[in-house]
Amino acid sequence: MPSDATPDPYADPLKFGQRVQILRERRGMSRSQLADFLDISPHTLKKIENGQQQAPGLDMVMRIAEALRVRDLADLTGRADTHVDLFIGPGHPRLAAVKAAIDTFPLASGVEPPPVAHLEARLQAAWKARHQAPNHREVIGKLLPDLIRDSQALVRHADSAIDRRAAQALLAQTYSLSQFFIAYQPDSSLLWRVAERGMIAAQDSEDPHTIGVAAWLLAQAHRDSGPRHYDAADAVNEEAVRFLEPLLPDATDDVLAIAGALEFELGYTAARRRETGTAWRHWDKANRMAARLPADYYHPVTSFSQAIMGAHAVTVAVELHQGGESVRQAARADEVAIPSRPRRARHRIEEARGYQLDGQPDVAIATLEKAHRAAPETIKYNGYARRLILEEVESKQVARRRRAAELAVEVGILAA
CB count within 10 Å of CB 324 equals: 12
DSSP letter string over 335-379?
A: TS--S-HHHHHHHHHHHHHHHHHTT-HHHHHHHHHHHHHH-HHHH
Would you call 105 helix, strand, or coil by DSSP? coil
- Given this model, what pLDDT does residue 412 score? 82
CA count, 13 A, side-chain hemisphere, 343: 25
Average pLDDT per block of 10 residues along the chain, 416 residues long:
37 69 80 81 86 74 75 67 55 91 78 88 94 91 95 91 95 96 86 95 97 96 86 96 96 97 97 94 97 94 94 95 90 79 93 92 94 90 86 86 91 73
Give how far Cα 312 sits from Cα of 206, 261, 270, 306, 344, Å.
29, 10, 13, 10, 12
**Domain 13-82 listed as CATH 1.10.260.40:** yes
- Given this model, what pLDDT does residue 166 score? 95
- Answering whether pTM is above 0.85, one says no
Q: Which amino acid is at 224?
A: D
Q: Are 34 and 24 in contact (CB under 8 A)?
A: yes
The Cα–Cα gap between 349 and 371 comes to: 6
Give how far Cα 204 sits from Cα of 180, 193, 239, 370, Å.
22, 16, 17, 42
Domain ranges across the chain = 13-82, 91-206
Q: Which amino acid is at 271?
A: A
The gap between the terminal CA atoms of the chain, to the nearest Å, is: 33
The Cα–Cα gap between 129 and 132 comes to: 5
Q: Are 259 and 250 in contact (CB under 8 A)?
A: no
Provide the sign of the torsion angle of the four alpha carbons 292, 282, 339, 258, taken in this order. positive
The Cα–Cα gap between 397 and 391 comes to: 12
The Cα–Cα gap between 383 and 64 comes to: 13
